[in-house]
């Protein structure tokens, strides 16, 4: 389906060396099926955050993807908080630690947090002196969409360009689909606002989506 393909393609571009076998939103019941993804990545982007249960070839992992438009000075601690929250969600009290899955916290930023001019910063815990990975399978990726185009990996260039300019690359089907979804979401939002205004003029003051 369209929604699943958008989510899968976004992850494929962020993780070009991993084969993605399936995805599921974390709040969905764990039915064992990865086929029914009813949300779109654009809904997640509009809400600034989306959490996915991702089946990579050879591993099951969780990905927390968040769009950061405004500069966030506490971004590393935000990452720490998300990792902790995800682990608590994965592992019920009293369960064995081997049930913990690899967790990827991904920030797509409209600024260069570290000001090093890199397209992506990738972090994991390791012994600084001996360059020895801790192996806790917690990873943080910080994407810098303001990076110069020539430094951006090929598979991310059209995505970075679109997020910066809002102009869709006519040669990239993925970006065209995202652009279409954005337009549809904007239209639905405009329609909802128009309907709310009409209801106010008719003497109804309840906001759309709220119960009595």
Structure tokens at 129: 């002196």
Q: Do residues 175 and 182 lie in contact, with contact meaning Cβ atoms separated by under 8 Å?
A: no
Helix (H) or strand (E) holding 61: strand 59-68
Query: What is the pLDDT at residue 34?
Result: 37
Q: Confirm whether 202 is domain-assigned.
A: no
- Using the predicted structure, report yes or no on whether residue 137 has a pLDDT greater than 60: yes
Q: Confirm whether 49 is domain-assigned.
A: yes
Burial (CB count <10 Å: 0-12, 13-18, 19+), residue 24: buried
Query: What is the pLDDT at residue 114?
Result: 97
Q: Confirm whether 64 is domain-assigned.
A: yes
Structure tokens at 113: 């947090």
Q: Report the domain count for the chain.
A: 1
Query: What is the pLDDT at residue 180?
Result: 85
Q: Confirm whether 117 is domain-assigned.
A: yes
Mean pLDDT of the chain: 80
What is the domain extent for residue 73?
A: 2-167
**Which range, 18-27, 29-38, 57-66, 145-154, is most confident?**
145-154
pLDDT category of residue 27 using cuts at 50, 70 and 90: low
Query: What is the pLDDT at residue 2?
Result: 53
Residue corresponding to tokens 């970006």: 175
Comparison of pLDDT for 72 and 14, the residue scoring more = 14
Q: Confirm whether 59 is domain-assigned.
A: yes
Secondary structure of 63-121 as H, E, C letters: EEEEEECCCCCCHHHHHHHHHHHHHHHHCCCCCCHHHCCCEEEEEEECCCCCCCCCCEE
Query: What is the pLDDT at residue 49?
Result: 60
Comparison of pLDDT for 19 and 210, the residue scoring more = 19
Structure tokens at 196: 């709310």
Q: Confirm whether 119 is domain-assigned.
A: yes
Query: What is the pLDDT at residue 59?
Result: 84
Q: Confirm whether 193 is domain-assigned.
A: no
Q: Confirm whether 141 is domain-assigned.
A: yes
């Amino acid at each position: 389906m369209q929604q699943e393909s958008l989510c899968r393609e976004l992850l494929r571009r962020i993780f070009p060396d991993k084969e993605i076998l399936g995805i599921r939103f974390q709040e969905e019941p764990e039915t064992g099926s990865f086929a029914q993804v009813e949300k779109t990545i654009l809904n997640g982007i509009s809400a600034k955050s989306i959490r996915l249960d991702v089946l990579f070839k050879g591993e099951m992992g969780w990905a927390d993807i968040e769009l950061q438009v405004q500069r966030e000075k506490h971004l590393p601690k935000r990452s720490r908080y998300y990792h902790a929250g995800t682990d608590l969600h994965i592992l019920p009290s009293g369960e064995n630690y081997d049930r913990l899955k690899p967790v990827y916290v991904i920030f797509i930023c409209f600024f260069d947090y570290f000001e090093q001019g890199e397209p992506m910063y990738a972090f994991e815990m390791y012994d600084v002196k001996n360059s020895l990975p801790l192996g806790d399978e917690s990873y943080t990726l910080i994407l810098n969409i303001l990076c110069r185009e020539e430094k951006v990996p090929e598979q991310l260039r059209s995505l970075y360009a679109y997020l910066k300019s809002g102009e869709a690359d006519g040669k990239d089907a993925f970006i065209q689909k995202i652009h279409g979804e954005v337009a549809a979401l904007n239209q639905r939002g405009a329609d909802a606002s128009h309907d709310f205004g009409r209801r106010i003029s008719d003497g109804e003051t309840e906001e759309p989506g709220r119960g009595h």
